[in-house]
Structure 1
């Protein structure tokens, strides 16, 4: 290699290294700016969460009189809550026959979200005098501890002698449970003693977020199905009547044709 060629090569490498250094510097500056922008986005998200929480608290208070009025009306309907639970696809899969029997004594359900919604909620079940337990009310509460971890606690069920449903693992599932292939469901009441995963309690969330906002939709499920079924029966009856009418018309036509033939024969004999 000539001396001039070596100079050119060193110059090219120097230019290339400078370009890499510039590129890396620009990337680092861009990353720092992205981090700054992201901090602003996070700040706005936190502000939005605080404002949304205030709105939710406001409307929770506004809904309370209507929840109270609804509970008073529900109290006039026998077996409202057990019917609602049996008709709910997820809850019904947890119910054995004896669970369902016990829930026939369930007179009222209430869901209370705490003032600071982030901190949790409580579900209260009120029962009439029943042969299963002494409690007039059973509650399960969800909140967060001092470390910010989700925890739950519940009422201890005072079972009557020989009536502890949580110790009967061989309960026969109801029809809804069979449809969902839950051959031997644990008792619904084991939920009150299960605090293993308070942050993802499926039954609690279903009751709070799905059933409580509008229990009537599940209470009315069978009636809606019956109405649809009645409509099908009416269609079948109409089709049956049409078939009968068509059959009578065809028979009438056959008789007319036979009659015409007989008249023709008589005419021939007269001739």
Structure 2
């Protein structure tokens, strides 16, 4: 296969150029779609704001790509306190695949924040990788109510310490870089915490600690957001890698919110209403059957299908 192009006028650079052109075309399509649908989303937001519990009901019917990350304790909080959810494309001119996902909450027993907003930048590296990167978002947990068991706070502290150390290292080395330095004490503590914590069943709110592949290259210029043409080649050499990532599938979850739940919100809300109607019909049917059937036929009860259970 390596010699497949040797006797042709085609080079791998030619093929790479075509791939880049396809990517540019896809980006342009997404940009046009975002601009065309913006008025529709605005209209939808005004309409659904008049429907009580719209977003909790939507989340109740969330697809598996989202639902699998929502634990019972998360669900109790989201279904009782979520007021609004929104997705915005904050870099339409640069890269429309960059998104901000915003949650608005009522007063609750878990944290003081009224708004939790997480931004994802879509970036590409010189080694061909492209995807979403982010920065950790802290949550002001109330006493003994941290659903992440302290992990999210540790990620935020490690991120801030890494930025501070990177800035100092750059200053002392006149911009020579900091690739040779080891983990900060905060990163070491986080790494140990992750190693000693069973990551299965981790709270949905740990998602706010997702960082992604740009950990190393981002720290080299920590005072600015990552640019679209930033050299992230060093990311592939990152010896820290996923060892400090508490939510490895954070980018996939962001995509599920952006490309499924957000555009399909009315569909999921309608499904929730239909599920309620089916549940009510089941209860009414059971009541009617209890009135019509003789008491001696009660042994047939075990053969009836179980009633559908509401997830809320």
TM-score range, shorter chain: 0.5 to 0.7
2:76 pairs with 1:101: yes
Provide the residue aligned with 2:190 in structure 1: none
- 1:82 shift after superposition: 1.8
Of 222-231 and 63-72, more deviation after overlay is shown by 222-231
Q: Contact 2:61–2:269 at 8 Å: present in 1 too?
A: yes
- RMSD of aligned C-alpha atoms? 3.8
**SS of the residue 2:148 aligns to:** helix
Unaligned 5+ runs, structure 2: 152-199, 212-244, 293-312
2:261 pairs with 1:211: yes
1:34-49 paired onto structure 2 within 5 Å: 34=8, 36=10, 39-49=13-23
Provide the residue aligned with 1:244 in structure 2: none
Q: Contact 2:147–2:203 at 8 Å: present in 1 too?
A: yes
**SS of the residue 1:139 aligns to:** strand
Q: Could you report, residue by residue, the CA deviation over 1:71-109 in whole angstroms, capped at 9, with x for unpaired residues?
A: 222222222212212212423333333322321221111
Q: Contact 1:71–1:108 at 8 Å: present in 2 too?
A: no
Distance in 2 separating the partners of 1:107 and 1:47: 41
Unaligned 5+ runs, structure 1: 1-27, 170-183, 242-271
The verdict on how the C-alpha distance between 1:96 and 1:168 changes in structure 2, with shifts beyond 3 A counting, is farther
The verdict on how the C-alpha distance between 1:162 and 1:100 changes in structure 2, with shifts beyond 3 A counting, is same
Provide the residue aligned with 1:139 in structure 2: 117
Q: Contact 2:55–2:82 at 8 Å: present in 1 too?
A: yes
Larger helix proportion, structure 1 or 2?
A: 1
2:164 pairs with 1:153: no
The verdict on how the C-alpha distance between 1:32 and 1:107 changes in structure 2, with shifts beyond 3 A counting, is same
2:102 pairs with 1:120: no
Normalising by structure 1, what TM-score?
0.59
Provide the residue aligned with 1:172 in structure 2: none
Normalising by structure 2, what TM-score?
0.52
Q: Which has the higher contact order (CA 8 A, sep 6+)?
A: 2
Q: Larger Rg: 1 or 2?
A: 1
Q: Contact 1:105–1:128 at 8 Å: present in 2 too?
A: yes
Provide the residue aligned with 2:204 in structure 1: 188
Of 55-64 and 90-99, more deviation after overlay is shown by 90-99
Distance in 1 separating the partners of 2:100 and 2:208: 12
Q: Give the length in aligned residue pairs.
A: 199
Distance in 2 separating the partners of 1:147 and 1:31: 25
Provide the residue aligned with 2:62 in structure 1: 88
1:1-271 paired onto structure 2 within 5 Å: 31-34=5-8, 36=10, 39-90=13-64, 91-103=66-78, 104-113=80-89, 114-115=91-92, 116-117=94-95, 120-143=98-121, 150-167=132-149, 185-195=201-211, 196=245, 201-225=251-275, 230=281
